[in-house]
Each structure stands twice: as structure tokens, then as C-alpha cells.
Amino acid sequence: MRMRAMNLRVPHTSVPRSPHVLMRSMTKRTAAEVGVMHTAEKTAKASRKTASRIVTLAAILAGAAFGVYCMDSRAGVHRWIFPRVMEWCTDPETGAKLSIKLLKMGLAPRDCVEDDPVLRTELFGKTLTNPIGLAAGFDKQAEAIDGLFDLGFGIVEIGSVTPEPQPGNPQPRMFRLPLDGAVINRLGFNSEGHEPVRERLQARVENWVKRVLSVQQGLVSSVGTDAAVAHPTTLGEAQVFAGYPDITADLVNQAGVPQSLKQDRLLSVNLGKNKTSREDSVTDYVKGVQTLGPYADMLVVNVSSPNTPGLRRLQRRSVLEGLLRDVVVARDKLLETRKTPLPLLVKVAPDLSDSELEDVSDAVENTKVDGIIVSNTTVRRPPGLLSHEHVNETGGLSGPPVKPFALHALSVIYERSQGKIPLIGCGGITSADDALEFAKAGASAVQLYTALAYHGPGLPRRIKDDLAARLRAENTTWSQMVGTGLKKTPVYEPSAVNDVGLYPGAQDAFDRSVASVRHEIEQLRESFGLGGAPATERHAIPFTVEKGEEKYASLLEEAQAIVDDKPVYQESENPHVGVLPQRAPAVPEYLLTQAKEQGVTQGELFQEAVQEATAEPVVPRNLPSSESHTRNVTTASGLTAPTSMPADIKKAKAVLRAEADPDPHRVV
């Protein structure tokens, strides 16, 4: 049975399968494999989709993170990459226009950090969160004000703006000096004119007021009274705005809001004049005050641009004073309907001589202008410039090369004004050290522009951070640093601990002088019929008066009142003793004896004795020559002085003659 079973198995295994069986077996295996393959493909597709989604999500997150990173002005790309790309790909003017567009569209970075309290300062009675400002020339047409404030500037200055549109000088008109970090420009006051700029400023105010009103409505409708506690300023502003149908700059001013529309920030408008205007005309500046003044926190009169023919001649004192007076009158008219003050400044060039800078300071003080910006660009080309390609181009030079000139001009004006005029420093500021130098030279605030193009939009934050660190290290503030670097004339102040003693006889001499003045006044009073003086104290007066003449009566009364409370030296046996304790005698004893005999004071006696000692003795002609040196000589006042002078008088005579004739070889 076992063998049969084996025989049955062998033929079974060795017999080939039929084609039908084989096909069915292969079909079963193929279906299984296909299923596996389909499953693998599905898994692969799912994996690819998942991976794609992960990559997409990661890219989105990375892009968002990079975007957030780039929105912070402290990002390194704004310092090391973007400025270089802008420099390689654009010319200076095109790069500036592109930057303005990005700022206008809100695509520029922002300063995301609060300013350190040590940077807070006060300018023209207004608080600033920081003293770093943007100079005029960047945003000439008032297109990107809010974007510039978002970079962290405490002051943003737009312009210069001229009354009528003008294209400026032909292009190219801006040139980089990259090795010096400087720029030469001859833009020539390219401006769209007052009206387009005014319309932009008006639209900015309207949009802001509408946002405030919408915020107020949302706050009241959502959380009610809690919003009033959390946002009292916003609600207060909205209540003011809701009561006026027309939105104007005056409306914002009535609400106590700065025209910058930013808390503790200032919007400045720089006023220029058209090339077609008369050189000595002030009409352009007056129009600027009237048209743009309502939209500004401060106004700047630009008389120092080197690119407008004849403009810098307006800095002469005789011309400048008249110009500033007219502008001040126009400004004062605005103040009649304005709740907040409107400071007026003048911007000067760094190329003026010291005497011209002092004249500018005097003109500003005389006309009651509020401040000075020092300085504009320079027409000089200092030695040592490294960028030779464009160095000889016509125009104003800005950047670090102008810094020494600006600092010198600033210090001259600060010393001349004795710190009474607030100054804003401008010219070559690229770091916190530069800002501190200007502060020590007298600048209450500083402005920059050229450095922004070379160092990127994060420069204001870097300067503020470094500046705050420096100030905290020195345990001081920005306001306390202003003017500390200048040499000050020492002022004598008596010590509160150690009293300064008087020289012997000083008090007596002073009191006798008062008594003498009193007697002179009494004699004059008698001449005018106001009183009398003792006959023994009368002296000849050097002019003739009429009795009853009252021309000088009030003056005499005032003089009498001044000396009435002074001690009087009365007649006594010892004339040099008064109501005060006796002092040590200031003249020789023998003269005191003669003073007592003659009835005169020791001061009068000593003065006459010195005069006699320094003059040749008067010897009567009728005396024999043998007696001329032994007899006493009588002076005109009756004082008898011996011709044989004591040793101390001889010594005084020799000293006085030596002072009159310092020749040591002269024989006396």
C-alpha cells in the first residue's frame, strides 16, 4: 500500500498541468500582484500628497516667518542685503523713489520696539519720544509720512515745497560717493507745489479721523463703558470729531492731536521758493505758512539750499531779519485760531563764516524765530574724499564729509545764543556717537537722511539702541547732554562755607563813597529846589540848573531812595570811624593826624597826598633856593605836605612812575 501510494504521487507530480490550469494560476498571481501594486501606488500618491502639503505648509510658514522677520527694521537683511541690492540696481534718485513707493504701500519694515525713556526730550514745549529725525529732501511730496514715522523717527520733515510746481534741474542730478558714504545732489527744489501737497495732507487727516470714528463706534457697541476706560483718548477725540461736519486740520488741532497724528512725534514742513520768484521776495515763504502751516507741527524756512540761484544770499543779516519778520507775522496770524503753538525755524548752510553764523543767531533772536537747523549741504569738497568719480559734480555734498562743518557751525551758534535758541543738528550723522557729538555741541535734536540710503531702514533703531546704552552707562539722559561739550566761561560764586574777607579799609571806603554820593545828591536837590545840603559839603556842579526845573526831579528822588538806607559817617573826633566797627587804618599815621586837623576824610587826604607825591613840588618863587627843600608845600586845598617826603611816599612815587614808563634803563 505504501508503494502504491508512492507510485500514485510520482506520476501526479510529474504530469504537466493543462494550459487552462496554468492560465488560471497565473491569473490568480497576477491579480494579487496587481492589487499590491495598486495599493503601493495609492500609498505612494498619498505620501507624495502629504509630502507636498508638508513642503507647501513649510514654505508658507517659512515665508510668513521671513515676512515677519523682514517687517522688523532690526532684521539684518535691511542692513546688509537690501541697501547693497538697491545700490547695484538703481541710481540714487530712482532708489529714493522706489523706497517712497514701498513706504507708501506699507511694505517697508517698522520699528517694533518702544523707545527708551532716557531718549525722551522736550522741543519747543512739545515732548518727543526720541530726538532722531528725518531731514528734508527724502519725502518731498508728502507721500509716505506714516511709513516714515513707522521707521521710528521722532521728527519727519517733508519738502522742500515750493508754491508753484517746478521740475528742478535736469537729470542726472544725484550722485553717490560710496567710499565716503556721501551723496552730491543738485535737485533744485523739484516740487509738485503747495496745492498737491496740501491735498495729500488733508486726505491723510480725513482718513485718520474716519478710523478714529469707526474705532469709537466699535468700542461703544461692543464693550461699552469698558472701552471708555481702556481708550479714553480715542473716545474723547471721536466725540470732538463727531460734532463737526467737515474734517479739517483745525479740527484735529482743536482735539489737541499733533499734526503728525502720532503721540509725541512732530511733523515738520520745509518751505522753499520758486526759481522764478524775485531773489529778495518773501512771498513764497508767507504763502507756505498760510497754505501748509495748518498741517504742520513745525515749519522750516529754507534759505540755504545751494541749488537755487541767489537763495543763500538771503542768509545775510540785513535781508534775513526782514524776511523772518514777515514770516513770523504770517505765522502769528495762524496762531489766532490754533490751539497749539507752531514753532518756526530757519535752516542755514555750514559754509558761513563765524561772523555770519553769529549774525544769523542774532537775527533769529531779534525776530523771535523759535529755532535753527544746522545745517544744510555744503558746496565745499574737503580733502581726503575717496570717491573720485563724481566728486567734481556741481551740487551740495551730504553725508559724513559735511559733519565737521556742521558741528563747528552748531557750536558757534550755540555759544552766540548762550543756549537760548533750540537747535537741531544735521549733517553726517550715521551712529550714536555722531548724535552724541551734536548733542554736546548744543543740538536738542538731530536729523539724518544720507545715512539711511547706505545703512538701511533699520538705522534709526540701531542709533536709538546704542544711544540709550551709552546714556545709561553714563547715568544721564539725552536732555542732560545738550551743550555739555562746549567750554563755558567760569562764573565766580562766593563760597557758602568759607566767606571771602574784605581787604583792610574796604568797608570804610565803600561807606564813605555812599556818603559822598548822598551829599552830591543833596546838593543837586537844593539846586532843583528839592532840599538842601550842609554848606561844608557843597561842591561845584558841572552844569547850570534853573530853580524849579523838574526835568531830573524823579531821577534824583530814585537816587536818594537808593542811598537813604546806607550808613552815614557822622562828625566825630576820629573821622575814619563810622557806624560800623573800626577797621585797620589804610594810610600812614601822620596823614591821619593831618586829616583830623584839616577836618577831611582819610580817603580824601590819602588821594591828595598821592597826587602831590607823584608831582613836582610847587615852591614859592619868593623863597631862597636854599630853603626850597626844607619848607613845607601847601596844596590847593590847604593841605600841608612836607617837601621832604617820607620813605613810603617816595616808594609809591617810584612804583607809579615805573608803571607809567616800563623802560628799566630810564634814569628817574
- For the CA atoms of 271, 275, 281, 284, the dihedral, rounded to the nearest 10 degrees, stands at -30
**CB atoms inside a 10 Å sphere around CB 409:** 28
Q: Is-contact 439 446, C-beta < 8 A?
A: yes
Can you tell me the distance from the alpha carbon of 156 to that of 661, in angstroms, rounded to the nearest whole number? 66
How long a stretch of residues is the chain?
A: 668
Cell numbers given for 457: 531702514
* 413: amino acid identity, one letter: I
The single-letter DSSP state of residue 350 is T
DSSP tally for the chain: helices H, then strands E:
23, 15
User: Strand 298-302 vs strand 266-271: parallel, antiparallel, or unpaired?
Assistant: parallel
Q: Is-contact 313 348, C-beta < 8 A?
A: no
Q: Pick the catalytic residue: 268, 277, 304, 305?
A: 305
Least Cα distance to 140 among 116, 166, 171, 121 occurs for 166
Can you tell me the distance from the alpha carbon of 132 to that of 349, in angstroms, rounded to the nearest whole number? 20
What angle do the packed helices 317-335 and 354-367 form, to 10 degrees? 30
Active site residue 305: yes
Cell numbers given for 23: 492560465
**CB atoms inside a 10 Å sphere around CB 604:** 16
Least Cα distance to 148 among 221, 185, 92, 96 occurs for 96
Can you tell me the distance from the alpha carbon of 79 to that of 75, in angstroms, rounded to the nearest whole number? 7
Listing DSSP states for 169-227 in one string gives SPSP-EEEEGGGTEEEE-----B--HHHHHHHHHHHHHHHHHHHHHHHHHHHHHTTHHH
Can you tell me the distance from the alpha carbon of 333 to that of 169, in angstroms, rounded to the nearest whole number? 35
10 Å CB burial of residue 553 (0-12, 13-18, 19+) is middle
CA–chain centroid gap for 237, Å, is 31
Can you tell me the distance from the alpha carbon of 51 to that of 405, in angstroms, rounded to the nearest whole number? 63
Angstrom distances, CA of residue 429 to CA of 3, 195, 445, 453: 113, 33, 12, 12
Can you tell me the distance from the alpha carbon of 51 to that of 47, in angstroms, rounded to the nearest whole number? 6
- Active site members: 305
